[in-house]
């Protein structure tokens, strides 16, 4: 065995026999808390609610997608309120009571907001009707009299 190989083997042996320092219990230095399924479920619910709330200091970003400090604070507030047992609708209602309906990325379907839901459908229906009419005219014009 070469000298360098012996040094490596020696170092490996030292790491294997290393005992915990005095006052420490095995694993005590690993303060990182493992994520439980409940944490993951809370995170998923937080993301779902945060994705529906507009970041007040950004342009068209949700608080889930925004890296701003305010969005982070709002996201952690969403998490805290969900952890306290509030429903997603109650959490959204809290933010609406502070910022108005503006805070919701999708406007609720009532009043003037209904236009945002109705107009696209009308445009698609109208466009479809126009295309159908045009196709009917073209096919009628291209018919060869027998």
Partner 1 sequence: MNWRRAGIAAVLVIPVVFVFSRGMKTDPREIPSPLPGNPAPGFALAVFAPGQPPLERPIGDTVRLADLKGRVVVLNFWASWCLACRDEHQGLSAVARDYTGKPVQFVGSLYQDTPGNGTAWIAEMGGQSYPSVNDPKALTAIDYGLYGVPETFFIAQDGKIARKITGPAPPAVVKHIIDSLLTTASP
Question: Residue 86 in contact with residue 107, Cβ under 8 Å?
Answer: no
Tell me: does residue 105 bind partner 1 (CB under 8 A). no
Site string for partner 1, 38-77 (x = CB under 8 A): ------------------xx-----------xx--xx-xx
- CA separation for the pair 95, 98 (Å, rounded): 5
Q: With respect to partner 1, which residue has the nearer C-beta, 56 or 88? A: 56
Q: 96 or 105, CB closer to partner 1?
A: 96
Number of chain positions touching partner 1 (CB under 8 A): 15
Helices 88-99 and 69-83 sit at what angle, rounded to 10 degrees? 140
By CB under 8 A, is residue 89 in contact with partner 1?
no
The number of beta carbons lying within 10 Å of the beta carbon of residue 70 is 13
- Is 87 a binder of partner 1 (CB under 8 A)? no
- Please say whether the beta carbons of 82 and 42 come within 8 A: yes
102 binds partner 1 (CB under 8 A): yes
Report d(CA 103, CA 92) in Å as an integer: 9
Which candidate, 64, 126, 132, 122, places its Cα nearest to that of 95? 64
Q: Looking at residues 114 to 133 of the shown chain, list those that interact with partner 1 (rule: CB under 8 A).
A: 115
| Residues engaged in binding partner 1 (CB under 8 A) | 56-57, 69-70, 73-74, 76-77, 96-100, 102, 115
């Amino acid at each position: 065995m070469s000298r360098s190989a012996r040094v490596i083997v020696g170092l490996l042996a030292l790491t294997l026999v290393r005992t915990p320092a005095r006052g420490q219990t095995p694993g005590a230095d690993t303060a990182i808390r493992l994520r439980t399924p409940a944490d993951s479920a809370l995170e998923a619910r937080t993301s779902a609610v945060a994705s529906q709330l507009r970041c007040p200091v950004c342009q068209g970003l949700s608080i889930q997608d925004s890296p701003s400090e305010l969005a982070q604070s709002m996201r952690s507030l969403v998490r805290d309120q969900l952890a306290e047992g509030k429903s997603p609708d109650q959490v959204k209602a809290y933010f609406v009571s502070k910022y108005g309906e503006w805070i919701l990325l999708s406007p609720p379907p009532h009043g003037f907001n209904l236009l945002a839901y109705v107009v696209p459908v009308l445009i698609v229906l109208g466009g479809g009707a126009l295309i159908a009419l045009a196709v009917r005219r073209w096919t009628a014009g291209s018919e060869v009299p027998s």
